[in-house]
Amino acid sequence: MTPPTGTLTLAGKAVSRLGFGTMRLTDPGTWGETEDRDTALSILRQAVHTYGIPHSDTADAYGPHTVEHLIKDALPPYPADVLIATKVGMVRPAPGQWMPLGNPFYLRASVEASLRRLRVDHLDLCHLHRIDPDVAFEDQLAVLEALQEEGKIRHIGLSKVTPENVLRATTYLAVSAVQNVLHAEDPADPVIETCHDLGIPYVAYRPLDAGRLASPHGPTTALRWLLDRGRHTVPIPNTSRPSHLAEIVAAVQGERD
């Protein structure tokens, strides 16, 4: 299937410049199981097989654990071009609550658990979900780098970071992707320029501002605005509805680079 946009290299794979965010494949509050498991499985398969979007973005905190289990049930045997990006370093005390936890022992345990849930022998791309301010940044990076050296992580990314965070991290290891909020109503993220200068793909999460930019004229303008920000930019819109996924893909058709 021809991807709906041009391609770029992300974590060593040629992927569509449109990714698929999986955060909404849970109950409200990003907590618990989805009420319509069959639809969740179907939309994961449609993204890859129907629309040519090989990059699915998830996290162990979604559910927690719910979406990684869904991906394991929907996509194996994983096609060679599929890129599953997950995130570790966030704990969920309750629905709607998120807390960073960068203890190196916890990060290692989280990676091992994601490997089991996804039923893979390595994570294609593992983001540090948040930098824990109570743990030395270098210690959080060091355990991810150690896991990379052990072959359990192929590529390392960062999420919700500043330019200073990115530059600091690159003095310790290769940063393969950065994931931050960016959309037309919140357009001032200097990290996009830092990533451009360093040749790092920039993954824009919440590109439709939790649906607020999806109406009344659909997501076309918002997604094209993001794609026009640079060839290194990858929006990952979220949805739990097949009809909305079709609208998203239609919005970027013809935007091939």
Tell me how far apart the alpha carbons of residues 114 and 106 are, in angstroms, rounded to a whole number: 12
Q: What backbone torsions phi and psi does residue 122 show, to the nearest 5 degrees?
A: -155, 155
CA 23: distance to chain centroid?
Answer: 9
Q: Is the separation of the CB atoms in 22 and 218 below 8 Å?
A: no
Closest CA to 45 of 10, 14, 82, 11: 82
Catalytic residues: 62
Element (H, E) at 138: helix 137-149
Three-state SS sequence of 194-244:
HHHHHCCCEEEECCCCCCCCCCCCCCHHHHHHHHCCCCCEEEECECCCHHH
Tell me how far apart the alpha carbons of residues 206 and 159 are, in angstroms, rounded to a whole number: 12
Whether residue 4 is preceded by a cis peptide bond, meaning omega within 30 degrees of 0, is: no
